[in-house]
Structure 1
């Protein structure tokens, strides 16, 4: 259905700059994105008691009250059984925010306000919300078609359950419907999960773009997009290079599951910042390893240097298949841009080490079970991984089975 198929409310919805005008009128530090968040929450969970709305948007009650008054003056909100979108507000949410706003549910005379829909608990693990359970087979089918893991790129694809839960977490945060989303690296196939979840919840993003260095992963995503009939942009790109000019400033949501080193994490997030529009309050989703307190403090310091504010940390939210580098689990960190968010690398190439094998190289030796030849394997060797050695075969006899010799030492730079 096109926008022309919907009868417009009378009067016509205000122009999109109303968000900035209301933010200025209420001196809202979150800027226009904060006003958009209020409208998104009301569209998804309204009618709401004002106190519940303040809790869901994480703003002080007096601030939300002031926002409500401004939006009521503009006839975007109305009162009744709680704070709700008016007919004009629903048209605005649809046309300007890209939301498929639900129609209001009629309430019986004298009945209490309908409570907000419950949000899933932030529990770790693979527990699926009931709305996601029917979507799991499609995600599992996609992952079963995946290429071999390239450990030199710190690839560690997450489980089908985690991919769906991550996409659903983005939806819960108002970061899916009508959004312009950039994924920095996607060996987790989050793009496919977003497509599956968005279709099930009528929460299609306005734009979805994936930057990925691995051509086999890109081909896998192409097959997945065709299978679920959800087209999106897929671009081959090395994050060491600056963000392509055509993508700079073109997104309002960014998500990444970067290399599990601080330099790699900081690089991927910095590149994502280059692609985000200016202004505070834009959502950033970072998947990273569960860390010790000291390492977690270092991570937070890096994020602070980039001008990002931590909104929520969910330990052990992510599950990975065979990801020994992560202990098979990892955290999901929800961040927001601020007025000080900036990339120190904008327009510059990054020539430092970013992957685990580069920063903490280890030399391992494998004995061929056929001829007993010893083959060194490491980041600075002719053969970099055991997977590559098994595929190529023993350089002496060509056999493909090996036994690791214990006592491997750290390589140069370890």
Structure 2
């Protein structure tokens, strides 16, 4: 098995760069746990590319597929041994999943109240690319933001909020005010109803982030949070709108981003734009910090091998890194082409 040859073949097939190091890491993750929905996220590469590697390993007689399992054959074990590929270690803390944050230690009574509210939120809508964070991981994000000093006595802007992070943050009693800009009318009404019933300093407004921020929003907030679409244009649009909402140097922003829909090449382009064009510093990148609920439509557009035969996952497998940025100047980035902010070649869609 030639790792570089395999990487080049997959790169040409999926339409974005895949390296020999990506393939080696995927193989090591597979050697540690044959369940595809466990080892693919650990490989930290786009899911379509991970699937394409597995399909080629199967075609070469190195793995056999059954259910959710991709098990090494005798030939596969020999090939891995020849390349020095062993099981990928998992040294992370089991208590916090390697995140460094135990959410239930942060205002536990308020956490329980949030979990109750989140249980009745509107179902995710595919048209808005919505996939819900697990409620405990929403609380984990809020706990981290609070620990960085980015909530207490400050104004928080939330751009898109099917996860209800605005509600979680407001329930802590820390922010001075929380404002949500959300396209989905169902969520706007739900959040405003919760705010009234709970007596929270929280308001939600219907807005399309493809339009510039309203004057009463731009430059008025200390902190923003967003979980943007994974296309590069979507990432830059949502994060850019968040930065436009900040007061100035020292203000902070938070967003989620995945490896399951983003190659290192996409990460590089995003980080370069943030550093050079938007003038922010990346202060924290927390790997696999947040997990998402599994919804059928999330994988509905993946039909090519091995997804045509792999059984669908039963638990939470889709995760994202959590990133903190800090503004260092009043400069704003350029406008983004928002023609298609939801999908690109690295997403969960066969193209």
Shorter-chain-normalised TM-score: which range? 0.5 to 0.7
2:46 is aligned to none
1:311 is aligned to 283
Q: Does 2:176 match 1:176?
A: no
1:11-160 alignment, distance < 5 Å: 123-124=98-99, 127-160=102-135
After superposition, the C-alpha distances for 1:222-278 in whole angstroms (9 at most, x for unaligned) are 232234321312111001111111212111211111111111010011112222123
2:334 is aligned to 344
2:321 is aligned to 331
CA contact (8 A) 2:170 2:202 kept: no
Normalising by the residue count of structure 1, what TM-score does the alignment of the two structures yield? 0.52
User: Max radius of gyration: which structure?
Assistant: 1
1:18 is aligned to none
CA contact (8 A) 2:170 2:178 kept: no
Secondary structure in structure 2 of the residue aligned to 1:356: coil
Post-superposition offset of 1:134: 3.0
1:284 is aligned to 253
Distance 1:307 1:124, change over 3 A: same
Q: Distance in 1 between the 2:291 and 2:347 partners?
A: 23
CA contact (8 A) 1:125 1:318 kept: no
Distance 1:129 1:292, change over 3 A: farther
Structure 2, unmatched stretches of 5+, are: 1-94, 300-315
Indicate the larger mover: 127-136 or 167-176: 127-136
Q: Distance in 2 between the 1:327 and 1:121 partners?
A: 16
Q: Distance in 1 between the 2:140 and 2:348 partners?
A: 33
Secondary structure in structure 2 of the residue aligned to 1:245: coil
Size of the alignment, in residue pairs? 236
Indicate the larger mover: 294-303 or 135-144: 294-303
2:343 is aligned to 356
Distance 1:163 1:276, change over 3 A: same
2:139 is aligned to 164
Post-superposition offset of 1:292: 4.4
Q: Distance in 1 between the 2:201 and 2:182 partners?
A: 16
CA contact (8 A) 2:237 2:338 kept: no
Q: Distance in 1 between the 2:205 and 2:269 partners?
A: 31
Q: Aligned Cα RMSD in Å?
A: 2.8
Q: Does 2:189 match 1:219?
A: yes
Indicate the larger mover: 131-140 or 262-271: 131-140
Secondary structure in structure 2 of the residue aligned to 1:246: coil
CA contact (8 A) 1:249 1:276 kept: yes
Post-superposition offset of 1:351: 4.2
Q: Taking CA–CA contacts closer than 8 Å with sequence separation of 6 or more, which of the two structures ends up with the larger relative contact order?
A: 2
After superposition, the C-alpha distances for 1:102-138 in whole angstroms (9 at most, x for unaligned) are xxxxxxxxxxxxxxxxxx9893398424234333321
After superposition, the C-alpha distances for 1:28-74 in whole angstroms (9 at most, x for unaligned) are xxxxxxxxxxxxxxxxxxxxxxxxxxxxxxxxxxxxxxxxxxxxxxx
CA contact (8 A) 1:164 1:197 kept: no
1:406 is aligned to none
CA contact (8 A) 2:280 2:326 kept: yes
Q: Distance in 2 between the 1:160 and 1:361 partners?
A: 23
Secondary structure in structure 1 of the residue aligned to 2:110: helix
Structure 1, unmatched stretches of 5+, are: 1-119, 363-409
CA contact (8 A) 1:154 1:356 kept: no
Q: Choose which of 321, 346, 369 in structure 1 pairs with 2:293.
A: 321
Q: Does 2:239 match 1:249?
A: no
